[in-house]
Amino acid sequence: MFQPDGASTLEEKVYNILEDQILSQKLRAGDSVTEMKLSKELGVSRTPVREALQRLDREGLIKLRPNKGAVVVGISERDLIDIYKIRTRLEGLAARIAAENADETLIRQLSDNIELTEFYMSKGNIEKLKDLDSDFHDIIYGYCQSRILGKTLSELHRYIVCYRKLSLSVKGRLERSLAEHREIVEAIKKGDADGADSLMSAHVELALSNLLTIIQNKD
C-alpha cells in the first residue's frame, strides 16, 4: 500500500505505477488485469484504479473489455518503429540546436558523460552504462532550447526504455554506441549543426536496426 503525498492525485499515482509496469514489461502484452485485483495489490479503492485504466485505454497501452477487465496492449513492433522514426528526426533537430548554441557547460556535461562511460565500460558495469546512455540523450534534450521538443523527446524515450536497454545488451553495441556519441560530441564542440544532426539521426537509425534484428531473431 502507498500513501498519497499531496504531490499528485491518487489516480495519477496509480496511473504512473501501471504505466511503468507496462513500459518495463512487468505487465506484458496479453496479460489480463482487473480493477478488483489491482485495487487489492495497490491497497486503494477501485475508483482511482478505474480512472487510471480508462486513461491507459485512451493512450492505447491497454484495451478495456466490458465486464471483463482489461488486457495489456503495450508497445507493439509497429509502435516501436514509429517512435524511432520520429526520434530520428527530432533527436537530429535537438542535436542541431545544441551545436548552434553550445557553451562550456554543455560541452563539459557531454565530455563528462563520455569519460564516465569509458570508465564503467572498463569495469563492465552494464547497468551503469545503460543509465549513462540515457543521460547522454537527456543532456541534449535539456539543451535544445525548446520546452516542447524536449518534453516530446523525453516522453518518447520513456516509452521505449526497456527496448533501448535490450538493444544495448547486444555484444559490441555499447562500444559502437560510445563511438557514435564521441562523434556527436565532436560535431557539437565544433558548432557543426549539419554534422550533429546527421550523426545523431544515424545513431538512432542504427539503434532501431539493431533492435529490430534482436526482436525478429526471437520470433
* pLDDT tens track for 87-119: 999 999 999 999 999 999 999 999 999 999 999
CB burial class (10 A; 0-12, 13-18, 19+) of residue 57?
Answer: middle
Q: How far is CA 18 from CA 44, 76, 160, 200, in A?
A: 13, 17, 15, 32
Closest to 18 measured CA to CA, from 3, 37, 7, 164: 37
pLDDT in tens, 157-204: 888 877 877 777 777 888 999 999 999 999 999 999 999 999 999 999
Closest to 89 measured CA to CA, from 133, 161, 144: 144
- Tell me the average pLDDT of the chain: 89
Residue 45 Ramachandran class (φ > 0 left, ψ -120 to 50 alpha, else beta): beta
Dihedral sign from CA coordinates of 151, 152, 157, 160: positive
pLDDT in tens, 21-51: 998 888 999 999 999 999 999 999 999 999 9
